[in-house]
Each structure stands twice: as C-alpha cells, then as structure tokens.
C-alpha cells in the first residue's frame, strides 16, 4: 500500500530520478514528462509524485514549464556570456565546462540588404554569404544564429565546413579575426519557427544580439543577429567596455 506523500515512497522516487541523472539516462534539458506520465512511470499517485519532485525543484535540479511543450525538465546550466564577446561560441562554451554542437540550418549567397550594406560598409547589392545555424549547449538548444559575411573577403566560404567556430575558420583561412565587436542587445518574443527550433513555447523571451565585428584594419567582416534562449544565458558586462543601451536597432531580416 502506498505511503503518504513525503514518506518513503516519495523518497524512493527522488532517489530513482537522481540515479537516472548520475547514470546519464537523464541529461540537462531532458523532459521527464507531465505529472500524469511520471506518476504512471513511477507507479505512484500524483500527490506523492509532487512531494517527490518539490525538493528537487527547490534545489534547482528540476524545473516546471507550462504550455503545449511544457512538463518537468532537468534544469540546464546557465551559459555565462560577456557583452561584446570576441570569442566564438564553441570556445566560450568549452571554457565554461559546457559541451557544444552546431547544426547548419541554411546557407545563402545573395545581394546585401540595405541594412547589411550599411553595416558592412559595402556597396548596395554587393554579394554576401548568409549562414544560419542552431547552437546547442550540453545537448540543449541555446541559440539560433544568422551571420552575414562579405563574399569578396571569403569567396569560398560556403564550400568550407561550417559546423565549428566561424571565427577560427576566418582566422586560419582568410586572416581575419575580430579586433572589436559592437553589440546591441534587446529582448524579443520567439516566433513560432524560432520556438520550434529552440524547443520552447511560442512568445517565450529571447535575447536578440545584433553584432558587428571588425578586423584589425577596422573593416567590418561580420554582421550577425543571434537569438539566445533567455532562460539559458546570463549576460555580464565590465565597467569601461563602452556598453550603450539602445531602444531599437536595425537587424537582419528574421527568417
């Protein structure tokens, strides 16, 4: 007969969940399921299940999410990112003890938009390469990134492997590295397409970072628009970095 909530049965459920975490059966970002699904899985009442989950939620091990894609999830660690970051995301993640993975969603070769030509200081309709990628940290979607590059500076870019650090690629193949970066940061709501990519609910908050990277010569070589899950990223800034708050900014077209 099942014991009362908070007793030995609830403690057994907690230990089973912690055992699944330690064995790797559950990883950061893993979905355990709805309350009903988990109660059936562990063979307990929903009241006992709630009692078992509460200490794990209070300890930051689990988190509850509402909405169609909601349920109980293993909490993923926050990613620390500096404003005007010059390191590539894979290097940043690895330095913070996170694993990283990149999925290329789309590439394009086309004339620059008006905003891109102004930002990159190129002629209107000059050729640019656009790379759109989905970035993961610890196996969980972290950001959707869209980077725009001047085709003249990297003529064979789209023929190169694009799943790693683009900054490392530009440094080794084209002799270009970010000497300075300027970023505008704002909060936006996830579109249905962005929500699907990032495995979050529609209209959940995202940190939108518009970035312009300049080489040592002062010439721009990247104009990017990155969308980070607000629940996964913590931005930091150091006094004297020249950070300016802005109400709005022109950004590359959202696709």
Q: Where would I find the beta strands (DSSP E) of the chain?
A: 31-33, 62-65, 71-74, 79-82, 100-111, 127-137, 140-150, 180-189, 205-214, 220-229, 233-236
DSSP type of residue 75: P
Which domain CATH number covers 66? 1.10.10.10
Whether residues 137 and 217 fall in one domain: yes
Residues 53 and 173 in one domain: no
Q: Same domain for 132 and 185? A: yes
- Write down the residue that tokens 């007969």 correspond to: 1
CA distances to 18, 130, 232, 255 from 105, rounded to whole Å, are 35, 11, 21, 11
Number of compact structural domains in the chain: 2
Range of the domain at 142: 79-236
Same domain, 66 and 86: no
Residues 222/149, Cβ–Cβ less than 8 Å: yes
Cβ–Cβ under 8 Å, residues 96 and 119: no
pLDDT, position 246: 37
| CA atoms lying within 13 Å on the CB side of residue 12 | 12
46 and 146 both lie in a single domain:
no
Are 201 and 83 found together in one domain? yes
Does a structural domain hold residue 61?
A: yes
Residue 249 has what pLDDT? 35
Residue 75 pLDDT: 74
What CA–CA distance (Å, rounded) separates 227 from 200?
13
Question: Does any domain span residue 242?
Answer: no
246 in Cβ contact with 184 (< 8 Å)? yes
* pLDDT at site 88: 64
Specify the pLDDT at position 120.
97
Within-domain flag for 252: no
Res 5: pLDDT: 42
pTM, two decimal places: 0.66
Output the pLDDT for position 23: 74
Note down pLDDT in tens along the chain; length 255 residues: 343 446 888 888 888 888 887 677 777 777 888 888 889 989 999 889 988 888 888 766 787 877 666 778 877 666 666 555 556 676 666 666 667 889 999 999 999 999 999 999 999 999 999 999 999 887 788 899 999 999 999 999 999 999 988 999 999 999 999 999 998 888 899 999 999 999 888 888 898 989 999 999 999 999 999 999 887 777 776 555 444 433 333 444 454
The pLDDT of residue 242? 47
Given 36, 54, 74, the domain boundary residue is: 74
What is the C-alpha to C-alpha distance for residues 87 and 186, in angstroms, rounded to an integer? 20
156 and 184 in a common domain: yes
| 54, 84: one domain | no
Q: Are 84 and 69 within one domain?
A: no
């Amino acid at each position: 007969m099942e014991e009362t909530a908070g007793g030995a049965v609830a403690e057994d459920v907690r230990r089973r969940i912690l055992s699944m975490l330690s064995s790797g059966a559950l990883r950061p970002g893993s979905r355990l399921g709805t309350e009903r699904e988990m109660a059936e899985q562990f063979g307990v009442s929903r009241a006992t299940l709630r009692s078992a989950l509460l200490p794990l939620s209070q300890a930051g091990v689990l988190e509850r999410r509402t909405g169609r894609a909601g349920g109980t999830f293993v909490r993923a660690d926050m990613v620390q990112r500096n404003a005007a970051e010059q390191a590539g995301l894979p290097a940043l993640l690895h330095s913070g003890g996170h694993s990283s993975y990149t999925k290329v969603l789309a590439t394009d070769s086309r004339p620059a938009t008006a905003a891109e030509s102004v930002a990159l200081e190129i002629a209107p309709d000059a050729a640019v390469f656009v790379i759109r990628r989905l970035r993961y940290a610890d196996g969980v979607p972290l950001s959707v990134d869209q980077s725009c590059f001047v085709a003249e500076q990297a003529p064979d870019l789209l023929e190169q492997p694009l799943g790693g650090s683009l900054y490392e690629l530009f440094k080794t193949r084209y002799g270009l590295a970010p000497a300075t970066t300027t970023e505008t940061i704002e909060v936006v709501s996830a579109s249905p397409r962005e929500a699907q990519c990032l495995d979050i609910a529609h209209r959940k908050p995202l940190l939108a970072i518009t970035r312009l990277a300049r080489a040592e010569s002062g010439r721009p070589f990247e104009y990017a628009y990155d969308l980070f899950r607000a629940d996964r990223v913590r931005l930091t800034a150091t006094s004297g970095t020249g950070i300016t708050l802005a109400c709005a900014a022109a950004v590359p077209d959202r696709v």
